[in-house]
Amino acid sequence: MRFLDILAPVFLIVLCGALLQRRARLDLQPLTISALYLFAPALTFSALIKQPLDGSALGRISLYMLLYLAIMLLLAGLTGRLLGCDGDSRRALTLAAAMMNIGNFGLPLVYFAFGEAAVATSILVFVLFSLPLGSLAIVIAQGSQADWRSALRNSLQVPIIHAALLALLLQALHLQPPAWLLRPVDLLGQAAVPVMLLLLGMQMARSRWQQVGRLLPAAISLRLLIGPLVGYGLCRLLQIEGLLRDVLLLQTSTPAAVLPLLYALRFGTRPDLLASAIIATTALSALSLTALLYLLPLLP
């Protein structure tokens, strides 16, 4: 029942997006811009403005994020070297293993798993991960051409960051926007979850599966098996418990993210491997995430 109640709605909407794209061959830019600049920032602001600011949770999420990304980047780099990969293949493997779909897939997943009580926490996790993930994806894909300043500047321009900062600032000042302003923001935010899942399906429909040898099993194992184990170990180490632990584990156990594929295509960083990893990890996450959802209530 875990799959039917929580994961089936996620995959059904993703499938609708994929079928729509196969049938209609739509231009994704207008919908992507709407999600990036309107729906997702509205959801971020409306969820965070209603949630009392928890400084301790903010600190623990930040520390978890830094340690998780450092460990996953290290493991991906070591795996690539052990397999004797060239530079481009190692970078593509790193993008697949360390860059999880914490937004398009993770936010809806947490919503279906834990309800509205967990939405603000999952958005805070998403926002805190977005800045390093966005910057690292660009830098890793660029390789020797990497420009840290440009990557960081591009990440800071994401509207979700601005919406989160505004909500947290108003919370800190104990200011509440009027109802006539919050209601339209709430309505726009309600469109974010289905639109993000539709976009994920539409983006996947445009990707092409290719045989890429032994690198693909390595990418799948790192993202869907090693990633959750690293996350659980960090939660134990940092004494993160309860709903926050479950949200962190679920969001950081999601499949490989789609956005790095755009950078891989732009800089020629083995987009064939990354596209195949996105498709494979998304499909296989139906099994890994179902298992994780069953295990979460049993974990000490």
Q: Between 281 and 138, whose confidence is greater? A: 281
* Span 175-188, average pLDDT: 94
Within a domain: residue 299?
no
Return d(Cα 43, Cα 30) in angstroms, integer.
18
- What CA–CA distance (Å, rounded) separates 10 from 105? 8
Checking if the pLDDT of 198 tops 80, the result is yes
Q: What are phi and psi of 100, to 5 degrees?
A: -90, 155
Does the pLDDT at position 39 exceed 90?
yes
Any idea which of 134-138, 148-152, 253-257 has the lowest mean pLDDT?
148-152
What's the pLDDT band for 145 if we cut at 50, 70, 90?
Answer: low
Q: Is residue 300 part of a domain?
A: no
Write out the two tokens for 212. 């890429």
Could you give the CA distance from residue 55 to residue 35 in angstroms, rounded to a whole number?
28
CA–CA distance, 220 with 227 (Å, rounded to integer): 10
Cα(242)–Cα(123) distance, integer angstroms: 17
What 3 state SS string does 235-246 have?
HHHHCCCHHHHH
Closest C-alpha among 104, 156, 162 to residue 132: 156
In this prediction, residue 251 carries a pLDDT of 96
**Residue 97 domain-assigned?**
yes
Measured CA to CA, the distance from residue 129 to residue 160 in angstroms comes to 12
- Residue, of 213 and 193, whose pLDDT is higher: 193
Amino acid, res. 263 = Y
Q: Is 300 exposed, middle or buried (0-12, 13-18, 19+ CB in 10 A)?
A: exposed
The gap between the terminal CA atoms of the chain, to the nearest Å, is 23
Give the total number of structural domains in the chain. Answer: 1
Mean pLDDT of 56-80: 94
**What is the dihedral sign for C-alpha 149, 28, 259, 161?**
positive
Q: What is the CA radius of gyration of the chain?
A: 18
68 against 257, higher pLDDT: 68
Would you state the pLDDT for residue 243?
A: 95
Q: Does the residue 132 lie in any domain?
A: yes
| Span 87-107, pLDDT tens digits | 888 999 999 999 999 988 999
Domain holding 193: CATH number?
A: 1.20.1530.20
pLDDT confidence of 272, banded at 50, 70, 90?
Answer: confident
Residue 231 is predicted with a pLDDT of 98
Q: Is the pTM of this model over 0.75?
A: yes
**Domain that residue 134 falls in:** 2-294
**Across 79-93, average pLDDT:** 89
Structure tokens that stand for 245 in this block: 């632990």
- Say if CB 259 and CB 137 are below 8 A apart: yes
pLDDT for 151 equals 65
Strand partners, 256: 100
With CA atoms as reference, report the closest residue to 289 among 11, 16, 76.
11
**Hey, which residues does 100 pair with through a beta bridge?**
256
| Helix spans in the chain (H) | 2, 8-24, 29-34, 40-50, 55-82, 87-98, 106-114, 119-142, 148-156, 159-172, 179-190, 192-206, 215-221, 227-238, 242-251, 259-267, 271-295
Instruction: Provide the token pair at 68.
Output: 């998780």
Measured at the alpha carbon of residue 76, what is the angle toward residues 72 and 78, in degrees to the nearest 5?
A: 115
pLDDT score at 150: 72
Q: What's the pLDDT at 77?
A: 93
Q: What is the pLDDT of residue 1?
A: 61
Among 210, 266, 198, CA closest to 15: 198
Q: Is residue 166 part of a domain?
A: yes
Q: Residue 24 — very low, low, confident or very high, per pLDDT cuts 50/70/90? A: very high
The pLDDT value given to residue 223: 97
pLDDT in tens, 201-235: 888 888 776 666 778 999 999 999 999 999 999 99
107, 123 in Cβ contact below 8 A?
A: yes
Q: What pLDDT sits at residue 144?
A: 62
Residue 225 lies in a domain: yes
Identify the pLDDT of residue 147. Answer: 66
Whole-number average pLDDT of the chain? 88
